Structure 1
């Protein structure tokens, strides 16, 4: 047994002849091939013991990890000549070297870091073998057994798969690894705080929760109010309770008969003879219990009509009645809801916003729902059992339907087998609940709702301040999303998506999502509350629909999926049902799909549906395949997954056998779904079906396409690394001082290129950094002071445009007050830096680092104002109620209030501050 353990350890730990690492003569120190130390024996032992419970990756990966943790890590002296494409690996591992030394000093710290970094890396040694190898190392191996072995291939010990795959796995994990997570893991064993498990809710509880969430919703608030008002009117008659054999309720009486265990305690005070006599003569007192109320379980089945009589307002009224019916089905098994579709029944989901939207969108042209009655009888009999009692079969339709002669004929046939409850609605807001039995019908509930009052638009509420402590008053404009003014942003992006002819969508390090449109406007802040953690996915399509996936902290995280409509500024947020990081993500023209180990989560881009599909094992385990979006390579052939409304489909990609051997990744051509392109060892190939159309090859001096229509002649920065040609700008795009370079090669769909741009910092086009104070001068208007001049807000008398009039700096005047701006703390969720100046009358001026000046008057009757601070040209001004005026660069397509009116309102406030 010991010999097998030592042999396994020797096979795993001994290097190949061409490996970049070796063992020193003592058999414990890990060194580079040319001499420098990588790690000492205790460090190797700690890493092996830590990773043994999950198995070992190739030992070459562990060696690279340990080397990157050392202070003397340097690419030039670390053996780049021994490793193919080592520059890529070195770039990926550089983050380990730049981490705080306190996180990687001791062997235990390095072992913990290795566990966090390599947690998702594929293993080549099983758990049992790994424990055996760790034990053999602890017992000391002979140095001779760790000498380089000529019979080993380096790939088995370092790569085991393509180097690019190793780079991808390590890079993905290292990008999401933050120092605060490492410190938390060292202290507590957890990377993030534990979240409480979610309670499983019944369907009635889910519906009630949905109704509370829809209050205030711009689309479904009226529906929620109607359903809430109908809750008391939709209760169905309760059947007689079932008598129980054993009364197990509360104590209700005292009697002279009963079991001995119900004797009053006072009876036990008698001696044995007297107690026996009292029991025999029926004089002893016993407690009596009553039977608790018990109703037989009933199955509630709803049929929500969607015929032509319910189109329009009655459709919303009927759906609210269905919601109220489901919300009050507390003492039944899980209720069921259906809608007609031709002669068949289709289930509907009224427990989620997406399901509710989908149910409202399905309409049928029939005048009465009688065609589905045979299917309804089958469903009812399927759920009716011997102990279920009476079924609660409910039809929700228009009031005119029950007066229809054909409806009466069909319902008479239905009533021979079942009892039917019919809930009717109309445009006047009248609701009726009628029970139909074989003996006739009876109206049991009525209600009248004022639909005109419920459906009329509600006035928009002013957004609340982000801080109401009284110490610091923040502008209400910060509560608006998206931000109502366009900004002259010049910040760097961590992820971006460019759509030629439309604009650039990018995320910043401050978790802001920005949209720079190619129409002369500034950059719009869509949201400033992106989830914590790295960005897993971001994409923009031609319909100006953006998809965002993020929020990954650790393996127990559920990702957040955002569907963003840039046209209307609408954001829909979802949380994935699966835990952890998906194997791959792709987006079609209708769906965003996340592929997990055994499931696919599909989100419709219009937000109407979110489904989880179980995936069969024919696709194979995640790490056994080479995944690239929806494409994966299994046993040498390429396959694709496609998701539609019916589920997922598995297809084989037709590729000529001559090219199948060198393909490394496969992608859909942008804008043309189903026409993939693929990247190979010798170049990039785009094809339609199985016919190749473009072939491009790497060359030592550059890159040359065979297709002359896209002539490209780019010189790589490093001839040994031809991929670095992507860092050379091919086209420069400028969005009014927001500049970036991108490589516009539609055929070159490299994973490294997708969604990434090279940014160049530019001079900030605002005067925010120059402004130092506010000046109160009774002989002038509103003045901002810089280090060498004064800027007075004025209005051009010809066109009333607002701008700054530059004046020389006036020092030493005693008839004016200068209030300097001071830095103030801001909540992290605001993503801005503010400076504040408090005026003598109690008003506040706030300088925003985005190039804005916010004015918060002391008088609550005066609206808050926001001014832009451009370095030249007219300025824009916006009031709290939405009135705005100024250049289109700042106010975009908003309706503009006359500048004269805006200036006069502004000057009224200025005169109050000067009193």
Structure 2
């Protein structure tokens, strides 16, 4: 199987390749960087999809369409599986005898995935979840072919332009995609069975290692950024953070001023009290001695004032007025999170969304970032970006 065969899109199918012009791709090929469902929304960005597929190389890549449906069902936030199911039922091939009987069990399995606790659908647990369920389904290609497809994409991502050109959907492909999910529904008829299978999956860490036991736990660092990238509604923000980090310079903080090295030349000054004067100054003749004092040329011992603690609170203001809607707002939130979550940034930060009212904003987890991005004000403000 070639690269385009695996990523091929079809006419009148429920998903398609699209381009999000506001999100540059690290591969340098910015077209067709998003898979979306017409009339419903984004499924997954290409960059994240490739990272998921890399995890399947050793076991063989799963068929793309069932994987996309599983990814959509494990996205956080509002999911409209009912509309996708209705759209598939309206497809001209849906009445075929090999298709119509597997639509309901296929979507029943997707509902089971949707019902899983949130922490099983995040970060590494999500990868483990996908590997677990698709290990019981036939692979689209062998492990050797999988490595070839991934390498081909990494070398020439622009070849996807051919896969984005939609071709006619064969009934055999349509049937096979839905049959895989229907078969998985027979094997994993409940969320409990999926969780037990995840815990017993070979050569993988126990899912509890990644499970967040308390929803109030603040998520920081690389895992938090990865979760932002995995969530379609915050992907644009998350993908910019590391790029912003590369241009940030965080000053070093001196938390122990009393321990700063003092001595040598730093102990000398041309001003001070008489009892701190260097002994060598008294060896001068009286006239020279008085002259040096009068001209501030005499030398004294005086310990320098140590640097003060520069512990301070950083306040970040984000404009949510009409002037800052769209891409500037995404950049503003990405910059704010980059400053707050930078590995060298330990100062307390407070973020305010400025519009008609000044609203404090928390950016400690994905849901809070989504709520912040949803803050809008109809006024025409004067701020621009993050300050």
Higher strand share: 1
TM-score range, shorter chain: 0.3 to 0.5
* Greater gyration radius: 1
Normalised to the residue count of structure 2, the TM-score between the two structures is: 0.41
Greater RCO (Cα-Cα under 8 Å, separation 6 or more) = 2
